[in-house]
Structure 1
Amino acid sequence: MKNHRLPQEVNAGSMADIAFLLLIFFLVTTTIDNDEGLNRLMPPENEDIIDIKQRNIFKIVINDNDQILAEDDIIDLENLKGQVISFIDNGGLSADHDDFCTYCKGDRLEDSSENPSKAIISIKSSRNTSYPVYVAVQNEVVAAYNHLRNRESLRMFGISFEAIHREYFSEEIKNDKKEILKDRLEIIRELFPQKILEPESINN
């Protein structure tokens, strides 16, 4: 009578231990980048909104036909940035006012924004507005803020705002230098705070 050997069982206990150790290894060694998000300072809400003067709101509307209206006038996308810059940089308050903008280089019109800290950009889209046009409008508005921030950063620190921002997030930057860059970024952001209001879509 022949001896029939039973198949040898594989010990799966050690495999579970190895898998657990690998899981711990990847959890410890993997780095996850933190999302910066959009650096935007939203305008006041609720009852505070009634205190905002109309001259301090620059209205941009994108209609169903993807036409861009700035202050009710149809404009081309390439002209939007310049109009936003003129509005934010207007500095319309008189020199004897407490909030007079000493660094503004605009026309100081009485019917445009009083101070960059008060200026609000309102972007309103229609339900049928195409997404690429909406994003393009947002990009032009942000580009206007970056233009003004770069100008003041170059004047004050001899380096653009964008260059400071890149250096701040560099992996090689030392902590003491990082704190200096952080302070400079905050100074420029206070001069030109990015206030973008995006109301709900409109119905045409």
Structure 2
Amino acid sequence: MARRDTPEINAGSMADIAFLLLIFFLVTTTMDIDTGISRKLPEKQDPNIKPPILKEKNVFEVNVNRNNQILVEGEIYMDIEDLREAAMKFIDNGGGDAATLKAEGIDPCTWCEGDKDPGSSDHPKKAVISLQSDRGTSYATYIAVQNELVGAYTDLRNRYANKKYGKDFDDLTTIQQDEIKDNIYPQVISEAEPTK
């Protein structure tokens, strides 16, 4: 009896097919890369120029410790739900002296609805929010704090846009939005190096 050879499977084309499938999935799969926190970093400063002197009352300090507790202004432990309102109150205080502001080339804040407390921020242009976290702070808490601080600016800009133009900030023209972002409520959030 003659012995039959078992036919071999031609595996050369199988590698080609696998490669084509790989290319197909790479081309058709979308990769979302636009994630994270959108921030505009400051330009590199000339070392000969002195940084501006900030009055302590114009800085709103927010510290998040390793236990995810939020300490505001060095003395008040605050719930995340109350942070946005506290930041809005600080930014929108408008407690600066009109003559001093005019001497610095800044129009007094006639649109501010704050308490005009002389111990709090002078003007939205001078208000700086300083955020410092601990290396042990959870990422979820850090993002929630960032969200509340940015939300404070968003709410103030929306309120101003509704008063002046009768529509939400997002519905304004780019020129109107830039005017509000640059001159009415500029977002100044400073992030300090995390503590160890």
Q: Structure 2: 5+ residue runs without aligned partners?
A: 1-29
Deviations 1:166-196 (A, max 9, x none): xxxxxxxxxxxxxx71101101112111111
Say whether residues 1:122 and 2:130 are aligned partners: yes
Equivalent residues of 2:72, 2:78 under 8 A apart: no
Distance 2:141 2:127 in 1: 23
Q: Which residue number in structure 1 is paired with residue 77 of structure 2?
A: 75
Deviation of 1:73 after TM superposition, in Å, equals 2.5
What is the aligned partner in structure 2 of residue 86 from structure 1? 89
Structure 1: give runs of 5+ residues left out of the alignment: 1-30, 166-179
CA drift at 1:158: 0.9
Describe the SS at the equivalent of 1:51: coil
Contact 1:56–1:118 (Cα < 8 Å) also in 2:
yes
Number of corresponding residues: 186
The equivalent residue for 1:59 is 61
Counterparts in 2 of 1:153 and 1:33: CA distance versus 1, 3 Å:
farther
The residue type paired with residue 127 of structure 1 is R
Match of 1:200 in 2: 193
RMSD: 3.4
CA shift for structure 1 position 151: 0.5
- Percent identity over the alignment? 40
CA contact (8 A) 1:93 1:115 kept: yes
SS of match in other structure, 2:149: helix
2:137 counterpart of 1:134: no
Question: Following the alignment from structure 2 to structure 1, what is the Cα–Cα distance between the partners of residues 160 and 195?
Answer: 36
Paired residues for 1:1-204 under 5 Å: 35=34, 40=39, 48-77=50-79, 78-96=81-99, 97=102, 98-100=105-107, 101-161=109-169, 164=170, 181-190=173-182, 191-203=184-196
Task: Tell me, yes or no, if the aligned pair for 1:61 and 1:125 is still in contact at 8 Å.
Answer: yes
In the TM superposition, what is the alpha-carbon distance from 1:113 to its structure 2 partner? 1.0
Letter in 2 for 1:184: Q
Kindly indicate whether the alpha-carbon contact (under 8 Å) linking 1:42 and 1:195 is maintained by their aligned counterparts in 2.
no
CA contact (8 A) 1:124 1:200 kept: yes
